[in-house]
Amino acid sequence: MSRKLTLLVLLIGAAALAETALDVLTQALVAEPAVENYVGEKTIILYNGAQAEAMEVRVSFEAGGATRTDYLSPPAMRERVVIDDGEDLYSYDPRLEVTVHSDSPQMLDDRLSDTERRDLIADNYILELESNHTVAGRDAFQVEITSRHNATPHRILWIDSQNYLVLQSREECNDSAANTGFSWIEFDVEFSPDYFSRGQFTGTVVEEAVPVSKSARNQLPEELGFVPVVPDELPGGFILVETRLGYRANGQYAAHLSYTDGLEGLSVFEEALEGSLMGQEIALGETKARLSKSANYSVLQWRAGDITFTLVGQLTNYGLYQVAAYFVTGK
């Protein structure tokens, strides 16, 4: 075979592989509502610098979108239950007899069509595919995910080759990391009628989030009392998908801007908030900011005049500073 022909075959093969990786990943993102009932146990290990935290949970899923997570360890979290029915999320602590209610993350996923999500992923990520892996006794694809902009965590997903359920994941971001995976999983199981109902929880129900409502961009200044900064796009390939108005306990409103790059979400809050900012002091050019980090996300706060900006997301240091600098300088 000639050298030119060999090169052509390799290029065609690489393109096909990249397309297949995108197909597998996008299938995984929309697969769960179509997956049959299952139950399995997961191990979750979170690394934050030199610290590590391990958890074991039992995950039960009912076709249609309801998920129940029972915490098995560590002892301090044992017997906690989280139920996500697709619209609402309830987190129950039996020791305190308190249920915390918030919106389901699944509702946020509905703001993009499958085609829009696929196009964003293709634009913002490099994907590599391998087959012939096994997780929890299931055949699996391995998809490695790398940001084209060095803005979000490096991820590897192991995806069930039959139903596209994510069986295991590994991600690294700055000095934090997370490993999650099923140790066993069983499909086609039956659940009692009230297994996914919050009615089984006793005690007090607490609302986690302040009341929020969707709000058109041109309505925000009237409610806020100032003109918010609302970019349509941000560095890292993030696009604006929703603007909301949140009511604070002090009687003031905050703008909540939601962005996505197809895989990762990013929130920016803008409000006329006084008081001290929390976290380690850093510099954004001439602007002083405060940074707080956990194993799952980072929070960056700064002030511009009388307005406080709060950026929340799971970004690399580079991605975090690039996005914040865009709000500060406009570029």
pLDDT in tens, 227-272: 999 999 999 999 999 998 887 766 788 999 999 999 999 999 999 9
Q: What is the pLDDT of residues 185-236, one digit of tens each?
A: 999 999 999 999 999 999 999 886 555 677 788 889 998 999 999 999 999 9
Bridge partners (DSSP) of residue 213 are 245
Confidence of residue 109 (pLDDT cuts 50, 70, 90): low
Whether omega before 74 lies within 30 degrees of 0, making that bond cis, reads yes
Q: 13-207, superfamily in CATH?
A: Lipoprotein localisation LolA/LolB/LppX (2.50.20.10)
Backbone angles phi, psi at 76, to 5 degrees: -65, -20
Write down the pTM of the prediction.
0.87
Residues 162, 139: contact at Cβ < 8 Å?
yes
- Mark 289-304 as b/e (b = at least 16 C-beta within 10 Å): bbbebebebbbbbbee
Q: What percent of the chain has pLDDT over 70?
A: 90
Q: Is the dihedral of CA 117, 120, 125, 128 positive or negative?
A: positive
Domain ranges for the chain: 13-207, 212-329
Q: What is the pLDDT of residue 2?
A: 42
The pLDDT of 86-104, averaged and rounded, is: 90
| CA atoms of 328 and 324, how far apart (whole Å) | 6
Please give the pLDDT value at position 17: 43
CA distances to 12, 78, 195 from 61, rounded to whole Å, are: 39, 19, 10
pLDDT at 33: 58
pLDDT at residue number 32: 66
Q: What is the pLDDT of residue 251?
A: 72
279-to-1, 296, 300 alpha-carbon distances in Å: 61, 16, 8
Q: For the chain, give the secondary structure using H, E and C.
A: CCHHHHHHHHHHHHHHHHHHHHHHHHHHHHHHHHCCCEEEEEEEEEEECCEEEEEEEEEEEECCCEEEEEEEECHHHCCCEEEECCCEEEEEECCCCEEEEEECHHHHHCCCCHHHHHHHHHHHEEEEEEEEEEECCEEEEEEEEEECCCCCCEEEEEEECCCCCEEEEEEEECCEEEEEEEEEEEECCCCCCCCCCHHHCCCEEEECCCCEEECCHHHHHHHHCCCCCCCCEECCCEEEEEEEEEECCCCCEEEEEEEECCCCEEEEEEECCCCCCCCEEEEECCEEEEEEECCCCEEEEEEECCEEEEEEECCCHHHHHHHHHHHHHCC
- Give residue-wise pLDDT tens across range 144-187: 999 999 999 999 999 999 999 999 999 999 889 999 999 999 99
Do 308 and 290 meet the contact criterion of CB atoms below 8 Å apart? Answer: no
What is the fold of 212-329? Phosphorylase Kinase; domain 1 (3.30.200)
